Structure 1
């Protein structure tokens, strides 16, 4: 078991990683506890560490991220007289941590939040960093808050029955860290494919740990995306979110980001920001893990107009440019202002099957 503690702005965030880390829930005493969790989950292994929790099950998936659902949850807390000293524990994947984090941030202007990600994607990305969002008008996470959890518990027990396909969806985000921030992580992934895909616990713990410290280091420097540093975490996401929107959110996030990283690496190379060979390095690692790298490998139909419209609503959009984090070489990146029409032109080429 490993612990990482980081001070982010005004909050101390503790992350506990490894088998048995759910026992840290015993530290929560003498408070009301609301557990927001996916209806798909059996959470007996969580609630056994809690005293008289109030259980709130919700639907999973992007369609659940709607403001009407948020207000239903706020009403649940209000009716049970939750106060600022009480806790919300989010148990589930990225959808659940997004929804629960948003509710925790707006109820009484903020109550205690503990994230318990149950997916690999949640453990390496979604549960970390304090971003919470809901969708609006077919645009992903356009309404949201920045709100840090008190604690994040990544217990590897949840991954024991995780299908390989679900593991791969999270690997796209780990690969993102390696490509832009952490060459040692890129090399580790290159050398440990079999152990990763066979869910070797020590190897998965290392991936979660490295992803956690990489992301927290960025978030500490630029929690609210005001300094142009945190945008590195969005490598592959401008095109990736467009793919998600264009498919009506039928394409899993990890697969959309995987294709998005290839597209954006090609743009970086075409515009002269990436060293020669970066695209090949991106392709090689994605292919090694069997992740999609071309839009033709995405099964769901894609509405190109909706996808291109989503780019205009990208949160990195500033007037007529989009701030893009381009990989310059493995483990390094550069912030670039790219005209919106240029990005849309490249995206149209990339997303045409």
Structure 2
């Protein structure tokens, strides 16, 4: 088990990795509303309100947030109470948003149950729902007071779901953490066999890497936090172009390949970076091109989504480009230039 704390702006975030989540949550003193993925059985968990949710993109809607707020309001929850999110990325995003706006903020505890949630969605304080077919248009920055990562959820997790989360882990290694890149290179069999020590190491390094960035630039105002979006500009476009049928992790995997190629073509990456990106993604059997995604991706819809990207400023998109493994540089790419590169990559 590992535990640590990070100070993110005005909030202290406590992280616990490898402890039984029921035991940890039952030790919290106060009223608790637990919003959880419908496919979970919450045995032994003490709660004052239980709200089951679907854990898919269709639930990332403002109506879901209002439904959660309504139930808490009817039960008389106040600002001294806790909202606990137990589930995958959708549950964490939606519950975090509801927690941030109900009475201007209740204490939030994230319990990610998927690998993607453990290494990404449950960390960093981004909440949100989709709007008008575009991902995460409505949302807030709201830090959880506690993140509880119980690795036993991964024991029955399908390998396919582990692979989807590995795309985000690989993202950290490519832009922030060469030691993680080397660890992933040498321990693929242990990681994919779900060796608990290997998974704990991967989760710990991922959480530390992400929180290390977030505490420097919580609200993406300094151009630092954008490093966490490597692969996401093209990746989110792929998701939109497939009507969200392509899983997030796979879209990001292809997005990282496209963005690494753009960085190389624009002269920002050292020679060999694209090959290193391709090698590690292929080692973990992740898709590296659109034709490996198994879904139709509308180039027109994808290019339209790029124009709606939250990193667009004054006709340019702020992009984090890998300069070498474990290092990166912010580049403001003109929107039309990016669309041209993206069109080539998505065909």
- Normalised by the size of structure 2, how large is the TM-score? 0.99
Paired residue for 1:142? Answer: 137
Greater mean alpha carbon deviation, residues 1-10 or residues 34-43: 34-43
Among residues 86, 89, 93, which one is paired with 1:91 in the alignment? 86
1:22–1:153 contact (8 Å) kept in structure 2: no
Paired residue for 2:38? Answer: 39
Equivalents in 2 of 1:20, 1:58: separation in Å? 22
Equivalents in 1 of 2:214, 2:295: separation in Å? 33
Q: Does 1:227 align with 2:222?
A: yes
Equivalents in 2 of 1:320, 1:253: separation in Å? 26
Paired residue for 2:279? Answer: 284
Q: Which runs of no fewer than 5 residues in structure 2 stay unpaired?
A: none
Paired residue for 1:116? Answer: 111
Residue deviations 1:25-59 (CA, integer Å, cap 9, x gap):
13311x22111011121222xxx242x43110011
Paired residue for 1:25? Answer: 25
Q: 1:3-22 maps to which residues of 2 (within 5 A)?
A: 3-22=3-22
1:18–1:155 contact (8 Å) kept in structure 2: yes
Q: 1:167-182 maps to which residues of 2 (within 5 A)?
A: 167-182=162-177
Residue deviations 1:77-122 (CA, integer Å, cap 9, x gap):
1111000000110000000000000000000000010000000000
2:82–2:109 contact (8 Å) kept in structure 1: yes
Paired residue for 1:208? Answer: 203
Equivalents in 1 of 2:196, 2:52: separation in Å? 29
**SS of match in other structure, 2:215:** helix
Equivalents in 2 of 1:23, 1:205: separation in Å? 19
Among residues 292, 302, 309, which one is paired with 1:307 in the alignment? 302
Paired residue for 1:125? Answer: 120
**SS of match in other structure, 1:4:** strand
2:21–2:111 contact (8 Å) kept in structure 1: no
1:22 deviates by: 4.2
Equivalents in 2 of 1:213, 1:230: separation in Å? 14
Equivalents in 2 of 1:135, 1:43: separation in Å? 28
**SS of match in other structure, 1:308:** helix
Equivalents in 2 of 1:311, 1:300: separation in Å? 19
Equivalenced residue count is 347
Among residues 137, 142, 157, which one is paired with 2:152 in the alignment? 157
Q: Which runs of no fewer than 5 residues in structure 1 stay unpaired?
A: none
Task: Give the aligned CA root-mean-square deviation in angstroms.
Answer: 0.8
- Normalised by the size of structure 1, how large is the TM-score? 0.97
